[in-house]
């Protein structure tokens, strides 16, 4: 078996560059794709070749399956890495690659389909003994059925779209009077956004932490997990700070959740790299939530604490190699934190695209910056607002926090607003420092400050 000679990267920004870096270290040629208004993008300069796939409108370029397959055929690329977002979890794309005799660097089409069908995934895992949240065992047909389940599991409950995920198409219900309305609104949303109105209902668990486990599986069915990431610091389902390991995890809990993740991957006949998402309640109960069938934005924190290059491993697995590491040699070393720096107002989170006039990037011991921007680059409103990931690694969480504050202090960006002041504020918050937070932390912080009338603006802007 041989590694690929050439890979096309069907993405842009920092993740395209992250993939190009892995390819270069593996001796693989790279093809970048870009839209016609992106001639200044760094991923084009770093790749061996580049192909324009259409106009800036993402539907016509980064989501344009025929254009991307044509680019791969024209350049003789043997495989396509989709990165995250865009076509990464599109089963039609994975299937189209397969039919064009191009390797899709990711799991099987079947894995992607199951990951996108939350009802089916939950049913499979429940049968195999992975803990799931009490609720409907399949899709709910009407409010009568939903009412029965709400009575059984107790209020509040949550209505979720089977095709949803990442917080889209969900509705929390606190009173049975609201059930009928919530179902019809959720159904309408699910049909509009996902083209599938299937809904399910669960007990709504409050004050949860978002815990996800990185897994990797080879074609022989060997599966390993690389420990957990705690992604509870988020706002409106947009993750802002992630860390590994979780500050509240014990070795015992890690072992348990790791075993659930491996059990889940086995049950799904999973291949390549992926993430099993869980929620952890205040009593340390852990429940399966979703499967993410892609490499995630926050994968670097796991790389820092395990020493495993997840992208290189992903490419090698797609080429047919077996896992390069055994579970017994995975050790969690120190602590890693990632801050997503967005081109947004640090108070309102409104996107602020524009030109970076000058910039200085942090460095020094234990600091990694994954980015595609540079001084003189203009951030386009066509793409998402994440412009850099600052990742630190240190011996322990206290040192990692100090290192992140130091790195963000060094980071100079002139010309656009960024979320750096927001991150500095969270990193010095006593509850964050103690590791005492849940997915409601950011919203609560903002509500508190509004109530105190301190005006977060005055605190945030130095
Ligand atoms: C839940 C929940 C509480 N109870 N389900 C949000 C995104 C999707 N992955 C699942 N989500 C949740 N599902 C039950 N039954 C709370 C959330 C949730 C959440 C989960 C992970 C990270 C952030 C979150 C923020 C709000 C709600």
pLDDT tens digits, 124-167:
999 999 999 999 999 999 899 999 999 999 999 999 999 998 77
Please compute Rg for the chain using Cα positions. Answer: 22
| Candidate from 170, 212, 293, 441 with most ligand 1 atoms within 8 A of CB, to mutate | 170
Is residue 171 annotated as a catalytic residue, yes or no?
Answer: no
**Which residues does a 6 A CB cutoff place in the pocket of ligand 1?**
133, 158, 166-167, 202-205, 208, 210, 234, 237, 277, 279, 289-290, 439
In angstroms, what is the span from residue 210 Cα to ligand 1's centroid? Answer: 8
Portion of the chain with pLDDT greater than 70, in percent? 98
Residue 461 has pLDDT above 70, yes or no: no
Local confidence band at 453 (pLDDT 50, 70, 90 cut-offs):
low
In angstroms, what is the span from residue 87 Cα to ligand 1's centroid? Answer: 24
Instruction: Give, using CA atoms, the residue closest to atom 6 of ligand 1.
Output: 167
Local confidence band at 354 (pLDDT 50, 70, 90 cut-offs):
very high
Say what angle helices 310-318 and 299-306 make with each other, to 10 degrees.
100
Instruction: Give, using CA atoms, the residue closest to atom 24 of ligand 1.
Output: 439
Q: How far apart are CA 57 and CA 421, in angstroms?
A: 31
User: If we measure between CA atoms, which residue out of 212, 210, 217 comes closest to residue 228?
Assistant: 212
Q: How far apart are CA 170 and CA 81, in angstroms?
A: 30
Helices (runs of H) and strands (runs of E) counted in the chain: 16, 20
In angstroms, what is the span from residue 360 Cα to ligand 1's centroid? Answer: 37
Instruction: Give, using CA atoms, the residue closest to atom 12 of ligand 1.
Output: 167
**CA–CA–CA angle 245, 172, 345 (5° rounding):** 60
The mean per-residue pLDDT over the stretch 191-213 comes to 97
Looking at residue 454, its pLDDT comes to 52
Q: How far apart are CA 291 and CA 257, in angstroms?
A: 14
Local confidence band at 449 (pLDDT 50, 70, 90 cut-offs):
confident
Helix (H, G, I), strand (E, B) or coil at 271: coil
In angstroms, what is the span from residue 118 Cα to ligand 1's centroid? Answer: 13
Residue with more model confidence, 330 or 457: 330
| Candidate from 208, 277, 278 with most ligand 1 atoms within 8 A of CB, to mutate | 208
The number of the ligand 1 atom at minimal distance from the alpha carbon of 206 is 3
Residue 456 has pLDDT above 60, yes or no: no
Token pair in block for residue 365: 């011991």
The number of the ligand 1 atom at minimal distance from the alpha carbon of 234 is 23
In angstroms, what is the span from residue 25 Cα to ligand 1's centroid? Answer: 38
Paired residues of 359 in beta bridges:
413
The 10s digit of each residue's pLDDT in 358-383 is 999 999 999 999 999 999 999 999 99
Q: Which of 171, 294, 368, 403 is catalytic?
A: 294
Looking at residue 459, its pLDDT comes to 45
In angstroms, what is the span from residue 155 Cα to ligand 1's centroid? Answer: 16
| Candidate from 116, 140, 167, 246 with most ligand 1 atoms within 8 A of CB, to mutate | 167
In angstroms, what is the span from residue 321 Cα to ligand 1's centroid? Answer: 35
Paired residues of 165 in beta bridges:
168
Portion of the chain with pLDDT greater than 90, in percent? 95
Looking at residue 276, its pLDDT comes to 98
Distances (CA, A) of 452 to 149, 436, 446, 457: 40, 21, 10, 13
Three-state SS string over the chain comes to: CCCCCEEEECCCHHHHHHHHHHHHHHCCEEEEEEECCCCCCHHHHHCCEEEEEECCCHHHCCCCHHHHHHHHHHCCCCEEECCCCCCCCCHHHHHHHHHCCCEECCCCHHHHHHHCCHHHHHHHHHHCCCCCCCECCCCCCCHHHHHHHHHHHCCCEEEEEEEEECCEEEEEECCHHHHHHHHHHHHHHHHHHHCCCCEEEEECCCCCEEEEEEEEECCCCCEEEEEEEEEEEEECCEEEEEEECCCCCCHHHHHHHHHHHHHHHHHCCCCEEEEEEEEECCCCCEEEEEEECCCCCCHHHHHHHHCCCHHHHHHHHHCCCCCCCCHHHCCCCCEEEEEEEECECCCCCCECCEECCEEECCCCCCEEEEECCCCCCEECCCCCCEEEEEEEEECCHHHHHHHHHHHHHHCEEECCCCCHHHHHHHHCCHHHHHCCCCCCHHHHHHHHHHHHCCCHHHHHCC
Instruction: Give, using CA atoms, the residue closest to atom 26 of ligand 1.
Output: 439
Residue 332 has pLDDT above 60, yes or no: yes
Whole-model pTM? 0.96
Q: How far apart are CA 59 and CA 446, in angstroms?
A: 35
Looking at residue 166, its pLDDT comes to 75
Distances (CA, A) of 255 to 81, 105, 225, 329, 332: 31, 28, 10, 14, 12
Instruction: Give, using CA atoms, the residue closest to atom 9 of ligand 1.
Output: 166
Looking up tokens 């009490």 gives: 134
């Amino acid at each position: 078996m041989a590694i690929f000679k050439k890979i096309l990267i069907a993405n842009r920004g920092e993740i395209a560059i992250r993939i190009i870096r892995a390819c270069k270290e593996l001796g693989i040629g790279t093809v970048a794709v870009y839209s016609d208004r992106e001639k200044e993008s760094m991923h084009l300069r770093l790749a061996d070749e580049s192909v324009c796939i259409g106009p800036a409108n993402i539907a016509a370029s980064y989501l344009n399956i025929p254009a991307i397959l044509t680019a791969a055929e024209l350049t003789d690329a043997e495989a396509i890495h989709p990165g995250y977002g865009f076509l990464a979890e599109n089963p039609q794309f994975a299937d189209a690659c397969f039919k064009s005799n191009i390797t899709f660097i990711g799991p099987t089409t079947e894995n992607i389909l199951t990951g996108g069908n939350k009802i089916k995934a939950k049913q499979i895992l429940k049968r195999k003994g992975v803990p799931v949240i009490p609720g409907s065992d399949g899709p709910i047909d009407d409010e009568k059925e939903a009412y029965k389940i709400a009575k059984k599991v107790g209020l509040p409950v949550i209505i979720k779209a089977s095709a949803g995920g990442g917080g889209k198409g969900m509705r929390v219900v606190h009173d049975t009077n609201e059930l009928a309305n919530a179902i019809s609104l959720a159904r309408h949303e699910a049909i509009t956004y996902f083209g599938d109105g299937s809904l399910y209902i669960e007990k709504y668990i409050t004050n949860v932490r978002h815990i996800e486990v990185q897994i990797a599986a080879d074609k022989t069915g060997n599966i390993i997990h690389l420990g957990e990431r705690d992604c509870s610091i988020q706002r409106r389902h947009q993750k802002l700070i992630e860390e590994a390991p979780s500050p509240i995890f014990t070795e015992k809990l890690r072992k348990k959740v790791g075993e659930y993740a491996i059990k889940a991957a086995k049950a799904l006949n999973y291949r390549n790299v992926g993430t099993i998402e869980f929620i952890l309640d205040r009593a340390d109960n852990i429940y399966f939530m979703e499967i993410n069938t892609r490499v995630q934005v926050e994968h670097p924190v796991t790389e820092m604490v395990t020493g495993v290059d997840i992208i290189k491993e992903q490419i090698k697995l797609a080429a047919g190699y077996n896992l390069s590491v055994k579970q017994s040699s995975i050790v969690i070393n120190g602590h890693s934190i990632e801050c997503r720096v967005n081109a947004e107002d640090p108070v309102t989170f409104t996107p602020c695209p524009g030109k970076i006039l000058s910039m200085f990037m942090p460095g020094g011991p234990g600091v990694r910056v994954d980015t595609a921007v540079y001084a003189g680059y203009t951030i386009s409103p066509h793409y998402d607002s994440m412009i850099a990931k600052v990742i630190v690694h240190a011996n322990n969480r206290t040192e990692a926090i100090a290192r992140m504050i130091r790195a963000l202090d060094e980071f100079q960006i002139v010309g656009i607003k960024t979320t750096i002041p927001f991150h500095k504020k969270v990193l010095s918050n006593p509850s964050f420092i103690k590791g005492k937070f849940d997915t409601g932390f950011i919203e609560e912080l903002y509500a508190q400050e509004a109530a105190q009338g301190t005006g977060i603006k005055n605190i945030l802007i130095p």
